[in-house]
Structure 1
C-alpha cells in the first residue's frame, strides 16, 4: 500500500474511509504533516465494521521526538512511518481484539497486547511480530 502525507491544518477533517478521518492519526505533539499508510486505514476500517463499534486510537503517527518520549518505543517503531496505531474498543477485551486482528494479518504485521493500558498495537509491517507489553 501507500504511505500518504496529509496536513492536519488543511486535511484534518478529510475522510480516509467510512469511519476514519485524518485528524485521528495525528501525532500527539500537534505537528504537521501526518503520515498515514493506506493499508493501516483499511485494517482499522475492517475492525470497525466487524465489531460495529468505534475504534479509538490512542496513538498513530509519531514524530521522532515524540516517539523518543514513549515508554518502550524504539527508533524502529512503525508509528514513525504512519504504519501503526494503538487502539481500543469499548467493551471489547484486548485478547478478543487482538484475535480478530490476527485473522486480518495472519502471516505479517505487528500485534502487541497491552493489558495494563487496555489497548492493542496494530501495524502493517511486512514481517510478522507478536508481543505482550
Structure 2
C-alpha cells in the first residue's frame, strides 16, 4: 500500500473502493493531479461500513497554495494525500474520531 497519483480529468470516476471515487479526493482548486493514500481509502471504507452511512469527504488532497488559502497547517497531511476531513450525517464527529482512533491507535493526527 502507499500513495498513488491519479488524474482528476481521466480518473475522477474510478472507484478506489466500494463507496469512494478518485474525484472525492481531488483538491477543490481544480488541480488535475490527485495523490491518494490507499491506507486512507481503506480507513474511510471501514468507517463507512461500520456506521452504515455515507461518508462525505469535505477536503482531502490539497495543493500547497490551496492549503495556505484555507488556513491549513504548513506540514498538513492533506498536502501528501494522506488526510481527509469527513462528515457522516447523523453521527457525532467525536464518535467518528473515536472509531478512527480505535482502528488506528498509533496513527495520530485524528481530530474532531
Task: Quickly name the TM-score band, shorter chain normalised.
Answer: over 0.9
Give the structure-2-normalised TM-score.
0.97
Report 1 or 2 for greater relative contact order, CA contacts < 8 Å, sequence distance ≥ 6. Answer: 2
- Hey, which of these two has a bigger chunk of helix by percent? 2
Counterpart-to-counterpart distance in 2, 1:62 and 1:96: 25
Counterpart-to-counterpart distance in 1, 2:51 and 2:73: 31
Counterpart-to-counterpart distance in 2, 1:82 and 1:106: 20
Counterpart-to-counterpart distance in 2, 1:25 and 1:34: 7
**Unaligned ranges ≥5, structure 2:** none
**Unaligned ranges ≥5, structure 1:** 114-133
- Hey, which of these two has a bigger chunk of strand by percent? 1
Measured on the aligned residues, the alpha-carbon RMSD in Å equals 0.8
Counterpart-to-counterpart distance in 2, 1:6 and 1:107: 28
Give the structure-1-normalised TM-score.
0.82
Question: For 1:1-39, what per-residue CA distance to the aligned partner results, in whole angstroms no more than 9, with x for missing partners?
Answer: 311000000000000000000000000001011000100
2:19 is the counterpart of 1:19 = yes
2:49 is the counterpart of 1:49 = yes
Counterpart-to-counterpart distance in 2, 1:44 and 1:100: 11
